[in-house]
Each structure stands twice: as structure tokens, then as C-alpha cells.
Structure 1
């Protein structure tokens, strides 16, 4: 395991952040007089970064997603992201699995399309910030997932010759494929299509399974 980097998505993979994103989104919408949205609507907007989320919110509110409201709404949302963290919760078994993987010698990184500062705030809230030596957010590089640059940069920073990518969604599956990196799919997150429709090496629904999956992974 000394040669292995494990690169994780964050939202829908390690933490259930949809309730927090739902609360923040509705706070910025209702403060401007727009109607609140349901949790399911907001969950459907998660995964492609804060700019995409804001454009979806504006479109749903009947506004131009590229218009004058975009920047102020984006600024308000990101500012709240860093402080309104109460709705973020760990998926069961995550902390114990990550501790075991670290003890096995794996190097751990986060690559998320969420801006880096809110991502770190959410990780700190759920008690994960001490386990990851690399955290890349949607504003860390010039590109976001599914572009492979973020995954390649995380592996480079971790300094390991081989890497697995772990995520929960269509964007994550596409990112891993674009990076030519084996993909482990956590099935209890925010994906919108059946498991069999996503390109992946192994799927799992329980973090207790993950250390064994990584230890026994058959590299091509």
C-alpha cells in the first residue's frame, strides 16, 4: 500500500452534504425574494461546482443564469458555505475506514468541485481535516472535474506511482475514465443512473468493505 494514492470525491462520497447545500441555497434565494426549493431539486444540482449550482438556482428562479445576478449570488453562496456547515454529516463507517487505509500506508487526497475553503470547512466540521494531506477544490486549478487535471495533480502531490479514484456520481466516473484511473464507486451517494450504467472497477455500499477492496485490488 506504500505505493498507492487514494483520491476521494467529497460530496456524496464521504459526506452527505445535500442538507447543508439545500439550506445555503434556500437562504440566498429567499433573501432575494425567490421561492425555496426542495431537497431533491438541490441534490440534483450537486457535483459540478458552485458556479453550476448558482446557474441552476437562477434558472429555476426564472432569471438569466449568466446575467448580472450571477456574481453577487455566487459570492453570497460561497460565503455562507464556509460558515453554515451544520447540515454536513459523514456517511457511516467513513472515519474508521480512512484510518485503516492510512495505517495500511495509503496516501489520501480530496478532489472536489466545491470551492476549496468551503470544502475544508465541511471536512473540519465532520472531523476529516486531519486525514488528508492534499485537498483540491473547484477553484484550485483552471479546470474542474470531469477534466482529469485535478486527479493527476492530486496524485502528483501525493507522490505515489499508482492511484485509485473513489466517488459516487456520473461526473466522478467520467473523471476517472478521463484520467485513466481505476474507479471505485460508492453507491449510496448522488448518482442519477443505475450502477451498471457507470464505468467502474468495483462498487461498494458500505465503508467497512473499503480497506479490503483496496488491499485486494487487482491492478491491470
Structure 2
């Protein structure tokens, strides 16, 4: 795609987590978490429905109500279950750190991380991979319905990280269209990281530029 946008001398760089810093979560882990959450309330849910909630990334509020569950209590349990399941997945070797993440240590500007994953999962992964000290701010979603509503493509968590960094002269690096849209809504540039798992994805929202890996990003930033 043609390059566009202004200078790449950003004051700060913000990264997405899953698919950018660490490998994406195995979808079966998240589907199991949905099934297990309903089971914790005594409800046997169709696995196909659970798979759809994960694939389409929606909060099953109506399904919870249909089974006589309080949506807020259900969602809090779902977030706890999903976070603990991902942490176990990490201990079993999942969600590895990408090799090129080492390159970001050469970036001589403030860095932050903003993820749609649970904040507890973000904190666990940063500690597990011993990279938390590299980010001045790390934001994941709160385990509430309001927290879920603030996920990307909404800019809320991204704007909070920018406030932590004290600048809006920043670049957001992500691997999804939601990341591109969130950056646009926050008024900053975006870099689409076209790793193998999104190699053939067509975007309807245009990022400021694309890179193939984080080393290419550093080259683009002149680091």
C-alpha cells in the first residue's frame, strides 16, 4: 500500500498485546471458558453458541438473562474464568513472546501497551515474560460490562494510556481493524502489523502504514 502520513518521529509508541507482543490465545481456551462460566451457574450451554461469542467477540447478555442470570455477575465470572484459563495456557507453553519483541528495547521513547484482553491477563503476561518494565503504562479491560463496552474499537483504554504517557503524539501498533479504528478515534496514527495470522486479512479501515514485523517498525521509526 502507498505510504502516507506525517513524520515517524513520534513521542511515544503504544502496542496492542495479543498477536503483536505475544501470540494470540488458542480459541479453544476461550470457548472452554464460556462453557465453564455457564456451567458455574448450573447452565449447560451449546458449544456452538460459545464458539460464536468468541468468534464474534460479543458479550452474551441476552443469553445470560434467558437463563435467569444477572448479566453483570455472569460477565464478571466469565472474565475471571477466561483470565485464569489463559494464565494456565501460558504456563503450558501458550501465548509465547514473539522473537522480534526484543527489538522494542531499542526504542528510545516512552512505550505503552493497550489490549482488549482482561487487565489481569495483561499483568500476568507482562510478569511471566518479564517485559513489564519496558512499558510505562499497560491497560487491559476491566472485568465489568462497562469495561467490555470500552474495548477497542472504542478509544477509551488507548486514550487512558496516552494520558498516562502525557502525550497524544503517538503511534498505535496493532494487528486488527479494531486497532486501526481505535487509533483513528483517539486522534493518533496507526501501524498495522501484518504477521502471518493476518497475512491475508483485507482491511476496510486504512492504517497510516503497514509493517511485517517489529524490526521493520523500528526501521520505519528510525530507531
TM-score between both structures, scaled by the size of structure 2: 0.71
Change (3 A) 1:41 1:214: farther
Once the 2 structures are TM-superposed, how far is the Cα of residue 184 of structure 1 from its aligned partner?
A: 0.3
What aligned pairs does 1:6-155 form with structure 2 within 5 A after superposition?
6-19=13-26, 20-29=29-38, 32-37=43-48, 41=52, 44-46=55-57, 52=58, 54-55=59-60, 64=65, 68-84=69-85, 85-87=87-89, 88-90=94-96, 92-101=98-107, 105-139=108-142, 143-155=150-162
RMSD: 3.6
Relative to its length, the structure with more helix (as a share) is 2
Distance 2:50 2:129 in 1: 20
Q: 1:76-112: per-residue Cα shift (whole Å, max 9, x none)?
A: 22222343213341353243122222xxx12111122
Give the gaps of 5 or more residues in structure 1: 47-51
**Does the 8 A contact of 2:175 with 2:193 survive in 1?**
yes
Change (3 A) 1:69 1:122: farther
